[in-house]
Structure 1
Amino acid sequence: MKNNLILLLLSVCFSSSILQAQELSQSYLYDEFKDGLVLFKDGRRSSAMLNYNTTVEEMLYKNGEQIWAIANPLEIAAIDIQGDMFVYVNKHIFYQVVKVGVGEVYVEWKTTYFSQGKGAGYGGYSATAAITNYSTFQEGAAVTKLTPNEKFSYKPDNRYWIKNAKGKYVNVTTIKMLQKNFPAKNVKAFCEENNLVHTKHADMLKILEYCFR
């Protein structure tokens, strides 16, 4: 069965430095690759070591020391990573399906990174130092330009979606978007009363659970 899965995967090539690879690994959803199941639309199942990279938004598969990216996600019905369910949306992006009260939210795990500056000597970094001589980091279909001695910071930038009556995804990432789609709820007041911050994942799930009541 695993051979069937491998036929649907593309090799991932790393051309960045070790430091860059270590920094970019911070954008994985899980601390390590985990046992998971790939459920195909034709009924086949294949086990794999899986993780999701939130920077390039791509589901990755590990085989030994090699990392692969799923190449034909249209053939996949769902991916189960130890109880966490993911569905394919478009391009190479998967959303995690999370139950919230009587409803479901589709979490688009996303991380953005920005430069803190280029090495300025004596172990320091200068935010104004020129950024030149880029090398590349390729992961699946995505290529990111990097510099060997540049320091990066990472910031969660998740998107949250629900499905409307027509089955289309609707963005509810902000308080304004939530209020528009749940007009009977006072979302802002609920957040203030419960000290919830919608940019925090755990808090956002509580807000959505309230909305679906």
Structure 2
Amino acid sequence: MKQLTFYLFLVLPLLGNAQNVSNEMKVKNGSDITKTLPYSERFRYSSFLDGKVFFRNGRVVDAKLNYSLAHGEIQFLDAKNDTLILNDKNFMDRIAIAADTFYYYQHHGHVRKVAGYSQVMLAEKQILGTNGTERYAAYNQYSSTTAISTYSSFVNGAGQPQELEGSNKILLKKRFVYFFLDKNRDIYLATKGNLLKVFPRHKKALNEYLKTNNVEFFDPKEIVQTLEFASSL
């Protein structure tokens, strides 16, 4: 690994997805998880797969790609089999790995398309989160300035890892965060308020739906059902 980037995001709740139920991982305070965690816990796919990087100017590049949970981004293998982070991400339109499509957003990293509708796409981001007791509401503050927890480890502007604060052992768990991508491909955290922003002409019907259905915006099945209803209006 040429460069360590250790992003542990704000604590998320235990989600309905089966992948969130397992794979609790203990790491030493301030450790380099790219060395201490097994490969299967650090990447989405079991190996680097053939993929394509589509640039906005029409250029297409083939590469061996995988999604790194530690970085929150797609990585590639170079000719020396070194694992590297992609450059020029802001010039890329999308990335295809197997049947999956990823989009890049500054401050969010790469998100994976889950479902597509006429006015919106649902995307997810798989991360490593601390296994704390904070409620999901805390993650509503997710933004470019609050994405990194005050008790997490990350690389600073000088490229130096910052040590974790608190206990000697940190318990990590795989988590998922969900986003709406609108027609212009602008990104919104999946919340009630942002749902109404994406479907501004159907606020009344959606508010009625949300009153009747207690939608949990961290449950992908409930989000999909809500988007299917919204798209039918």
Note if 1:153 corresponds to 2:175: no
Task: State the match for 2:91 in structure 1.
Answer: 75
Question: Which TM-score applies when normalising by structure 1?
Answer: 0.62
Question: Which TM-score applies when normalising by structure 2?
Answer: 0.57
Q: Identity across aligned pairs (percent)? A: 19
Note if 1:188 corresponds to 2:207: no
CA contact (8 A) 2:43 2:66 kept: yes
Higher relative contact order (CA 8 A, sep 6+): 2
**Structure 2 counterpart of 1:11, one-letter code:** K
Task: State the match for 1:60 in structure 2.
Answer: 75
**Structure 2 counterpart of 1:198, one-letter code:** F
What stretches of structure 1 of length at least 5 have no aligned partner?
Answer: 1-9, 117-135
1:99 is displaced (CA, Å) by 3.7
Q: CA RMSD in A?
A: 3.8
**Structure 2 counterpart of 1:16, one-letter code:** D
1:60 is displaced (CA, Å) by 1.0
Q: Deviations over 1:47-76 (max 9, x none)?
A: 222122344322111346521101211232
1:102 is displaced (CA, Å) by 2.5
Q: In structure 2, how many angstroms separate the alpha carbons of the residues matched to 1:13 and 1:97? A: 26
Note if 1:113 corresponds to 2:129: yes
For residue 177 of structure 1, the aligned residue among 172, 185, 194 is: 194
Task: State the match for 1:89 in structure 2.
Answer: 105
Task: State the match for 1:16 in structure 2.
Answer: 32
Q: In structure 1, how many angstroms separate the alpha carbons of the residues matched to 2:103 and 2:172? A: 28
Q: Deviations over 1:173-203 (max 9, x none)?
A: 12343245441223425645xxx64312343
**Structure 2 counterpart of 1:161, one-letter code:** F
Task: State the match for 1:163 in structure 2.
Answer: 182
Q: In structure 1, how many angstroms separate the alpha carbons of the residues matched to 2:47 and 2:131? A: 25
Q: In structure 2, how many angstroms separate the alpha carbons of the residues matched to 1:157 and 1:142? A: 27
CA 1:21 to 1:201, structure 2 compared with 1: closer, same or farther past 3 Å?
Answer: same
CA 1:78 to 1:144, structure 2 compared with 1: closer, same or farther past 3 Å?
Answer: farther
**Structure 2 counterpart of 1:80, one-letter code:** A
1:98 is displaced (CA, Å) by 4.2
CA contact (8 A) 1:34 1:82 kept: yes
Q: Deviations over 1:139-161 (max 9, x none)?
A: xx7946459x6242225241312
CA contact (8 A) 1:179 1:187 kept: no
**Structure 1 counterpart of 2:178, one-letter code:** R
CA contact (8 A) 2:182 2:198 kept: no
Partner secondary structure for residue 204 of structure 1: helix
Task: State the match for 1:212 in structure 2.
Answer: 231
Task: State the match for 2:44 in structure 1.
Answer: 29
